[in-house]
């Protein structure tokens, strides 16, 4: 059964809005059923600021400075790149509790063209001091991470996919303050992924298991700040590592894991699978783009198989 990320997010936000009258949700004229539900119950705590992302972030900072926790909901590409300087100077420099709910990251809106692709959002935001970046893979994760962001009192960005999700975590099973979780264990190859790609990776891994190839899968749901010591514990003993992300090649988890390997002088086979850094023009549906970038199931299986079966020379 598939579930909607938005429902999970707004269920959590609803609870927070209900218990804290100094919580405000801003949107740049972006709708969601869950948001409407909050607005009906708490009309003073939801504000459509119009199509003005720069001002929305400055206003969010001002509201936060006056004692509010502010959620900002909008299309991921619009609430990250359009207003980057406001995020840098008004939100992150002031370390105020502004939590970005980025709807439709990666190629969620692929067919809507490059204006709506959020494929370098994490790369940009991780350069902002104090900005925590979450890429949840299911509803349990998203609820925990929304609460975590709220409790932190600091800026955060949560990627919320438009496509439905299948459950990964059982409720209360995992401590989400850890930043990552090993979803399945395997000896030879460790795959580091997150967000919507986790389901794709798991599907490919399930089919590989039928061939007798067992891979480890790590869900790096908090990309920034990365819990590097725990990530190293999870994948440092693997004979090869592959990262899989619906993000550009630069500044994603491939860059992160590649740096980690380099800094630790760990020379093992490594592949970073991503959308690349070229802008995708035209109607870049996920199905089409995954085929172009080696992210569809058969390509994933081929890469995983190849990396898992490399001779152990190190």
Q: Does residue 90 interact with another protein by CB under 8 A? A: yes
> Judged by CB under 8 A, which stretch of 50-58, 137-145, 193-201, 294-302 contacts another protein?
50-58
Q: Which is nearer to another protein, 94 or 123 (CB)?
A: 94
Q: Does residue 310 interact with another protein by CB under 8 A? A: no
Taking the complex as a whole, how short is the minimal distance between the CB of residue 51 and another protein, in angstroms? 9
Q: Does residue 58 interact with another protein by CB under 8 A? A: yes
Site for another protein in 161-180 (CB under 8 A): none
Q: Does residue 62 interact with another protein by CB under 8 A? A: yes
Q: Does residue 65 interact with another protein by CB under 8 A? A: yes
| Cα pseudo-dihedral 307, 308, 311, 314, rounded to 10 | 80
In angstroms, how far is CA 258 from the centroid of its own chain?
18
- HEC profile for 90-149? HHHCCCCCEEEEEECCECCCHHHCHHHCECCHHHHHCCCCCCEEECCCCHHHHHHHHHHH
Taking the complex as a whole, how short is the minimal distance between the CB of residue 155 and another protein, in angstroms? 14
Q: Does residue 99 interact with another protein by CB under 8 A? A: no
Q: Which is nearer to another protein, 55 or 299 (CB)?
A: 55
Rg of the chain in Å (alpha carbons):
19
**Spatial separation of the C-alpha atoms in residues 272 and 292, rounded to whole Å:** 15
Q: Does residue 153 interact with another protein by CB under 8 A? A: no
Q: Does residue 64 interact with another protein by CB under 8 A? A: yes
> Judged by CB under 8 A, which stretch of 81-89, 103-111, 172-180, 186-194 contacts another protein?
81-89
Binding residue for another protein, selected from 13, 16, 32, 68, defined by CB under 8 A: 68
| Residues ≥6 apart with Cβ < 8 Å to 298 | none
| Residues ≥6 apart with Cβ < 8 Å to 53 | 28, 74, 78, 79, 82, 83, 86
Q: What are phi and psi of 147, to 5 degrees?
A: -65, -40
| Residues ≥6 apart with Cβ < 8 Å to 189 | 213, 215, 216, 238, 239, 240, 241, 242, 304, 307, 308
Q: Which is nearer to another protein, 95 or 305 (CB)?
A: 95
- Please give the structure tokens belonging to residue 183: 């979803």
> What's the count of helices (H) and strands (E) in the chain, helices before strands?
11, 12
Q: Does residue 49 interact with another protein by CB under 8 A? A: yes
| Helix/strand/coil for 187 | coil
Binding residue for another protein, selected from 9, 17, 32, 63, defined by CB under 8 A: 63
- Please give the structure tokens belonging to residue 69: 């926790």
Binding residue for another protein, selected from 1, 2, 66, 281, defined by CB under 8 A: 66
Taking the complex as a whole, how short is the minimal distance between the CB of residue 245 and another protein, in angstroms? 31
Binding residue for another protein, selected from 38, 59, 87, 146, defined by CB under 8 A: 59
Taking the complex as a whole, how short is the minimal distance between the CB of residue 206 and another protein, in angstroms? 48
CA atoms within 13 A on the CB side of 281: 0
**Spatial separation of the C-alpha atoms in residues 301 and 264, rounded to whole Å:** 28
Q: Does residue 94 interact with another protein by CB under 8 A? A: yes
Furthest CA-CA distance within the chain: 63
Binding residue for another protein, selected from 38, 60, 183, 235, defined by CB under 8 A: 60
Site for another protein in 19-38 (CB under 8 A): 22, 24
Residues that bind another protein (CB under 8 A): 22, 24, 44, 49-50, 52, 54-55, 57-68, 85-86, 89-90, 93-94
């Amino acid at each position: 059964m598939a579930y909607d990320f938005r429902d999970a997010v707004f269920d959590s936000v609803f609870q927070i809005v209900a218990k804290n009258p100094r919580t405000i949700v801003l949107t740049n004229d972006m709708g969601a059923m869950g948001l409407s539900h909050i607005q009906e119950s708490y009309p003073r705590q939801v504000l459509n600021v119009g199509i003005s992302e720069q001002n929305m972030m400055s206003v969010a900072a001002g509201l936060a400075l006056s004692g509010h926790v502010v959620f900002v909901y909008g299309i991921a590409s619009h609430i990250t790149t359009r207003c980057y300087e406001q995020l840098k100077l008004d939100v992150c420099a002031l370390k105020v509790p502004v939590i970005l709910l980025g709807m439709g990251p990666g190629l969620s809106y692929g067919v809507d063209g490059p204006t709506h692709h959020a494929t370098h959002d994490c790369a940009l935001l991780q350069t902002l001091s104090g900005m925590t970046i979450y890429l949840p893979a299911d509803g349990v994760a998203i609820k925990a991470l929304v609460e975590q962001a709220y409790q932190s009192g600091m800026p955060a960005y949560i990627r919320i996919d438009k496509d439905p999700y299948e459950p990964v975590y059982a409720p209360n099973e995992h401590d989400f303050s850890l930043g990552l979780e090993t979803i399945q264990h395997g000896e030879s190859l460790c795959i580091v992924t997150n967000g919507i790609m986790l389901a794709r990776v798991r599907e490919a891994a399930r089919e590989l298991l039928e061939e007798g190839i067992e891979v480890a899968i790590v869900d790096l749901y908090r990309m920034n700040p990365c819990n590097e010591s725990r990530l190293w514990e999870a994948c440092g003993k693997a004979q090869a590592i592959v990262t899989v992300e619906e993000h550009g090649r630069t500044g994603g988890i491939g860059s992160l894991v590649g740096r980690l390997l380099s800094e630790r002088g760990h020379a093992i086979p490594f592949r970073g699978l991503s959308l690349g850094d070229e802008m995708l023009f035209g109607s870049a549906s996920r199905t089409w783009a995954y085929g172009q970038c080696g992210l569809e199931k058969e390509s994933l299986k081929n890469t995983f198989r190849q990396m898992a079966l490399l001779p152990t020379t190190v």
